[in-house]
Structure 1
Amino acid sequence: MARLAGVSQATVSLVFSDGGGAHRVSEATRERVRDAARTLGYRPHAAGRQLRLGRTSLVLLAVPNILGPFFARVLAGAHEEAGAHGLAVVVSSGWSSATLARATTTSQFDGLLVCSPDDSQLGELPESTPVVFLDSDPAHARGAARRLTVGLDVAGGMRAAVEHLASLGHRRIGHLRSTLSAHTFRARQAGFEEAARGLEVVEAGVALNDGLPAARAAARSLLDRPDRPHAVVCDDDVVAAGLYRAAAELGLRIPEDVSVVGMDDIAAAALLTPPLTTVDLPGELLGRRGVAALAALLAGGPAVEPEPLPTALVVRGSTATAR
């Protein structure tokens, strides 16, 4: 290839280097080398580059539940951004602190993206491994040189949901809340309590990892009360779908008999009947920002904490004025 391009072997190596040496070669020479490579059908040897640079170009995205529609949005955004940085994303679900520790000590991955972690899942991660926490407690990254958090304003989203129902005249508000001990749900609870001051509140816990059946059962316990609330906020859209099912079984109409607000704005939210009013959590943007932050850490850049991503209430047909 060097002979065909009329350059030295060292110049060829610089052109295909992942270590930043290509800038030392003129654009005209780089193009001549690439033309020679295309003529010869040459492809850089990925394994050789990895050995030389001590990197795999793989990052691990750890999500609590791969079946969760919101985490599919995060993964889509992460995949899209990873390609721009020469990275590939591997997803892991149902992980533990031991799984993460293994991933960081066996050189399988250059860095980690840890999304919406339950506090019990983290344990101790080696300080040498770059980690970006998504929708997580900022304390997990505070004071660490190779740690960052990309947050979501979930508390603000929950406040908007409750304030929307209060503006419609609802004074008795139900809340189907997650029983998981993750920071994201503590933040949602804090936002709910702040916005619901002065309102009458009825709550029921939901084990989110148990899916739609658990959501339906919790919703039914709330709606079957003699003093049932006429408006309910759900900690995610799957729980809201469970409430739709429970309401139908009890002969209740949405929104005439009960107004419903979800959180996440998954694709199915707009397909429910009536379409679900919900809080949009920008999952794709969260994934993209997370990968961009991790790529900056891998490149040796400073750990600069970005501002939490904003959330937005999307009003559809599942909420109505209180009767």
Structure 2
Amino acid sequence: MADPAPPRRPTGRDVARLAGVSQATVSLVFSGPEAGHRVSGATRERVREAARTLGYRPQAAGRQLRLGRSGMVMLAVPNLLGPFFGRVHSGVHEEAGRRGLAVVVSSGWDSATLADAAVAGRFDGLLICSPDDSQLGDLPTATPAVLLDADPARNPGRPTVELDVAGGMADAVRHLAALGHRRIGHLRATLSAHTFRTRQAGFEAAAAGLDVVEVGVRLNEGVPAAREAARSLLARPDRPAAVICDDDVVASGLYQAAADLGLRIPADVSVIGIDNIPVAGLLAPPLTTVDLPGEELGRTGVTALAALLAGEPAAPVPPLPTRLVLRASTRPAD
């Protein structure tokens, strides 16, 4: 008996029939964001659902030849293991998939790496998250790129999506002040990235009139460096009874330092972090922190990049709002 013929691979015509649209509409949906935007959102989703049902995969190589595009974008983050950047990647991956784009993640990049990626033609565009100013110097101006969590004033002409980090920091300071704390510690990141400059500016503005004790933290050295810096702050004879940390990893180091010194949170020291990464809710007690919407940052960045690829002018995006998540790590001052 002859072997059965292999199942026929579904075609765009099959997808069109199931979705109730023309084959031309199917081609538009899978031709990249600039063409796909010519189809309504509801129709795009119906076509994609039909494709998933049938197991249809568009011919990527043929599409690249027709459009001169790869269908891939690069997301560059400072540290792939950073929990916040995992949230950003999740949002980028979700929105890129909805638009028929694939995402490649690069970590530990420098200006030369970005320039090579820009001119090699492997990527249709770049999403660059939390860059230092020096990392953008070699990037060709013609490269479609969107900056996430970056300083728009230092990168004129580049679409930029910011977070309202200063507002979140101000909320944290005001919360402690409302609890009666007048002496506040600050474990401050020593990195030069825009996000940490903004946190510092927001802290200084909100803490004006309070008694402040600051200690620098080398964030790129992880929890051990944060624990060391926190010990130096908490071991002071005049230690503050409330501390704001520049991110939740630093706050984790402070929890360890407090345990080393026999201090209880929040009975002896109230603690607030920034980021709202998953570990914040797992600490004992759970950490009060400023939620930075990394997923929304990633989704908004992809939307802006898709507009660039479609030849549309970049619309300004207002800073994405943050919010203070109240948990059990703070208490009223004595």
What is the CA-CA distance between 1:139 and the residue it aligns to? 2.1
Question: Is the alpha carbon distance of 1:15 and 1:168 closer, same or farther for their aligned partners in structure 2, counting shifts above 3 Å?
Answer: closer
| Residue equivalent to 1:8 | none
* TM-score under structure 2 length normalisation: 0.85
Deviations 1:276-300 (A, max 9, x none): 0000000111111111111111111
Note the residue ranges of structure 1 that are not aligned, 5 or more in a row.
6-10
Identity of paired residues, percent? 69
User: SS of 2:319's equivalent?
Assistant: coil
Q: Which moved more, 1:118-127 or 1:260-269?
A: 118-127
Encode CA deviations 1:5-45: one digit per residue, 9 max, x unaligned.
9xxxxx96785352749989xx9xxx9xx99xx7xx98542
SS at match of 1:176: strand
Q: Deviations over 1:57-88 (max 9, x none)?
A: 11111111111100000000110000111111
Deviation, 1:203, is 0.6
Q: How many residues align?
A: 303
Match of 1:283 among 290, 294, 306: 294
CA contact (8 A) 2:112 2:138 kept: no
User: How far off is 1:104 after superposition?
Assistant: 0.1
The alignment's TM-score, normalised by the length of structure 1, stands at 0.88
Q: 2:310 aligns with which of 299, 303, 306?
A: 299
1:125 maps to 2:139:
yes
Change (3 A) 1:15 1:157: closer
Which of 161, 167, 181 aligns to 2:178? It is: 167
Question: Residues 22, 173 of structure 1: CA spacing in aligned structure 2 closer, same or farther, 3 A cutoff?
Answer: closer
- CA–CA separation in structure 1 for the residues paired with 2:89 and 2:130: 13
Question: Residue type of the partner of 1:175?
Answer: H
Q: Are residues 20 and 223 of structure 1, via their aligned partners in 2, closer, same or farther at CA, if it must alter by over 3 Å?
A: closer
RMSD over aligned Cα, in angstroms?
Answer: 2.5
1:63 aligns with 2:77: yes
In structure 1, C-alpha distance between the alignment counterparts of 2:312 and 2:68, rounded to whole Å: 18
The one of 141, 146, 169 equivalent to 1:158 is: 169
Pick from 216, 222, 225: which aligns with 1:214?
Answer: 225
Distance 1:113 1:20, change over 3 A: closer
Distance 2:37 2:273 in 1: 50
CA distance in 1, matches of 2:112, 2:296: 28
Mapping 1:261-280, distance limit 5 Å: 261-280=272-291
Determine helix, strand or coil for the equivalent of 1:16: helix
> Is the CA contact 2:35–2:310 (under 8 Å) kept in the aligned structure 1?
no
Deviation at 1:124, TM superposition (A): 2.7
